[in-house]
Structure 1
Amino acid sequence: MVKQTSTHLSAEDKAAISAAIAAAETKTSGEIIVVVSGRTVDYRWIMLFYGALVAIVAPLVLMAFGVNPLTLGAAFTQWQAGGWNIGLGATAADEAATGMMFILALQAILFMLVSALDLRPGMAAKLTPAWIKRQQVHRAAHDQFLAHDLNQTMGKTGVLIFVSLAEHRAEIIADTGIYTKVSRDVWRDVIGKLASAAREGALANGLITAIEDSATILSVHFPRQDDDVDELPNKVIII
């Protein structure tokens, strides 16, 4: 996982990455695409989930400590009467209804307060579990793989190098023709180097290294042929 990243790729960085892709594809029939995403998904929904969870759990916690709607209603009735116990007044049903109104009001307030934490920049992403981020980034990478026609290459040799900056994650997705010959462990090593470079703020260098390593891997199983055609653009895509 990428811990810290330099989110800026200069024009020189982009040109260097494009040149690295072009050079890599002189060694292999594989097609390499690099996609850098600022943020994979909007995580605001997670705060709505947490808000709903707190709103649901809070009354259960209160009841576990002996607080129930009837008790709240009776206390409110006594407060209205200036501390006197009234023999004729609110019925038990009235007190229960009043207590329930307090519970509902408490739930609404808690829901709004927790949901409002999303107003702080990056708070929702920080509170999103890592496994959700991992799934979202993988799904986004797969979508980009399809969107850029990497599944349509001759020989099924498309490779996507995907970086999501906000989630601090990177993935490599290779088409079926490659996965039959190259194990996942090999790609993990490539991602590891990319992550290390990104942590040091050298994202462009990390991407270039990942491209070069991918070309070396692909050239063993999918060397470039004389009749190979460059099927996809050799450039970094920013989304």
Structure 2
Amino acid sequence: MKPANEFFTSEEQQKIENAVKGAETKTSGEIVPMVVNSSYEYPRAELIGAGTLALAVGLIFSWAVGGESIWWFLPVFLVGFFGFQVLIRNSPGLKRKLINPKEFDLEVREKALVSFVEQGLHETRDKTGILILISLFEHRVQVLADSGINAKVPENTWDEIVTIIVNGLKAGDSCNATCQAVERCGELLEEHFPRKHDDTDELPNLVIEP
């Protein structure tokens, strides 16, 4: 899995930023795509996975070598636990299998809410900020709109944006999919929030979390 800071090339980042600028020429809305490595560290998955594997290895080893002695089991378990913990931490595919998909949904949603505030999307003049969060580890996309938009645009409208990006990620065309999603956001907002003569670009056009 590529880290967030390498997920898009410099040229692709510029292309996305240009797409945001183009979409914002049609609307007073502020669109902020954001890419993060992970929405949460999921330490419980590491503990449960490492504990289970170390327990199995410790029991088998003590039974096969030490005559079921606890003095063989304990050191093998402890060494195995820390070893498997490191292995799981550095194996995203394995770690992902140890986590309930519902937990992914909750953590990505929470990350989107926190990022919405941290990036200042709640401070736009007309409450028209939109965050498009791409969380790489979870393979999830979350779209969050401010109160001014939600008052006029049904929340399920953003399912279309999520689908566009998810399909692009699966097809290996994440840059064009993100640009398409941004352009679609601009079209959806244009009807209710046309650009004003004194509009300014209040927020960054792309955020990549290190």
TM-score band by shorter chain is 0.7 to 0.9
Q: Distance in 1 between matches of 2:53 and 2:142?
A: 34
Q: How far does residue 127 in structure 1 lie from its aligned partner after superposition?
A: 1.0
- TM-score normalized by the length of structure 1: 0.70
For structure 1, list consecutive stretches of 5 or more residues without a partner in the other structure: 1-6, 57-78, 80-100
Deviates most, 178-187 or 113-122: 113-122
Q: Is the 8 A contact 2:27 2:190 kept in 1?
A: yes
Say which structure, 1 or 2, has more relative contact order (CA 8 Å, 6+ apart): 1
Aligned residues: 190
Q: How far does residue 155 in structure 1 lie from its aligned partner after superposition?
A: 1.2
Aligned pair 1:216/2:187, yes or no? yes
Q: Which protein shows a greater Rg? A: 1
Q: Which amino acid aligns with 2:193?
A: F
Aligned mate of 1:162, from 114, 127, 133: 133
User: In the alignment, what sits opposite 2:121?
Assistant: 150
Aligned pair 1:138/2:109, yes or no? yes
Q: Identity of aligned pairs, percent?
A: 30
SS of 1:178's partner is: helix
- TM-score normalized by the length of structure 2: 0.79
Structure 1 consecutive aligned stretches of length 4 or more whose deviation exceeds 3 Å: 49-56, 105-118
What does the per-residue CA deviation read over 1:105-163, in whole Å, with 9 as the maximum and x for residues that have no partner? 96996687566433321222331111111111111111111111000001110000110
Q: Is the 8 A contact 2:164 2:177 kept in 1?
A: yes
Aligned pair 1:171/2:170, yes or no? no
User: In the alignment, what sits opposite 2:99?
Assistant: 128
Aligned pair 1:237/2:204, yes or no? no
User: In the alignment, what sits opposite 2:12?
Assistant: 13
Q: Distance in 2 between matches of 1:112 and 1:220?
A: 61
What does the per-residue CA deviation read over 1:165-190, in whole Å, with 9 as the maximum and x for residues that have no partner? 11111010000111111112210011
User: In the alignment, what sits opposite 1:43?
Assistant: 42
What does the per-residue CA deviation read over 1:3-45, in whole Å, with 9 as the maximum and x for residues that have no partner? xxxx621111011101011111110000111111122222233
Q: Which amino acid aligns with 2:177?
A: G
Q: Distance in 2 between matches of 1:52 and 1:172?
A: 36
Q: Is the 8 A contact 1:28 1:223 kept in 2?
A: yes
Q: Distance in 2 between matches of 1:238 and 1:163?
A: 10
Q: Is the 8 A contact 1:117 1:124 kept in 2?
A: no
Across the aligned residues of Structure 1 and Structure 2, the Cα RMSD in angstroms comes to 2.8
User: In the alignment, what sits opposite 2:172?
Assistant: 201
Q: Is the 8 A contact 1:47 1:114 kept in 2?
A: no
For structure 2, list consecutive stretches of 5 or more residues without a partner in the other structure: 1-5, 56-66
Q: Which amino acid aligns with 1:18?
A: E
